[in-house]
Amino acid sequence: MAEAKKYPTPVTNPETAPFWEAAKAGKFLIKHCTACGERHYFPRSICPFCFSDKTEWEEASGEATVYTYSLMRKSPTGPYAIAYVTLKEGPSLQTNIVDCDLEKIKIGQKVKLVWKPTDGAPLPFFTAA
């Protein structure tokens, strides 16, 4: 096995600190606006849709489907799959598909959340479900 890829440590800030604290406990949080009902990711304190400050943290299931992907073959650390996945709860987000056969990724495929360690809070990735 090759040595595990080193990922950057999240810098975090007061607005996003609860996300990273939850991540350390294995919980994947998104934001839910109680004013307009929309969910969004990455998390903001003010809703990007209705601009209300009535946003609250909500734990997401970690279940998602692949919206699109691209297998980057020219990389000093080896091929990797960047992707957008759409969470069961609604929002789509940028990620990497990891720990599965990258040649077999398909749009619409079901994937699930996995955490990868950094020197600080872990980072969310997705793998074949």
Partner 1 sequence: MTIKGKAYIAGIYEHPTRHAPDKSTAQLHAEVAKGAIEDAGLTKADIDGYFCAGDAPGGLWPMVDYLGLKVRHVDSTETGGCSYLIHLGHAAEAIAAGKCSIALVTLAGKPRTGPMPARAAGAEADFEAAYGATTHNAYGMCAMRHMHDYGTTSEQLAWIKVAASHHAQYNPHAMLKEVVTVEDVLNSPMISDPLHRMDCCVVTDGGGAMIVTTPEIAKSLKKPLVRLIGHGEAMKGPRGGKDLDLTYSAGVWSGPRAFEEAGITPKDIKYASIYDSFTITVLMQLEDLGFCKKGEGGKFVADGNLISGVGKLPFNTDGGGLCSNHPVNRGGMTKILEAVRQLRGEAHPKVQVPNCDLAIAHGTGGLLGVRHAASTCILERV
Chain positions contacting partner 1, by CB under 8 A: 7-8, 10-12, 16, 20, 38, 40-42, 44, 48-49, 67-75, 80, 82-84, 86-87, 90-96, 107, 118, 123
- Residue 65 C-beta: closest distance to partner 1, Å: 12
Which one, 50 or 129, has the nearer CB to partner 1?
50
Which one, 10 or 63, has the nearer CB to partner 1?
10
| Long-range contacts of the stretch 3-12 (C-beta < 8 A, 24+) | 5/77, 5/116, 7/116, 7/117, 7/118, 7/123, 8/118, 9/118, 9/119, 9/120, 9/121, 10/118, 10/120, 10/121, 10/123, 12/120, 12/121
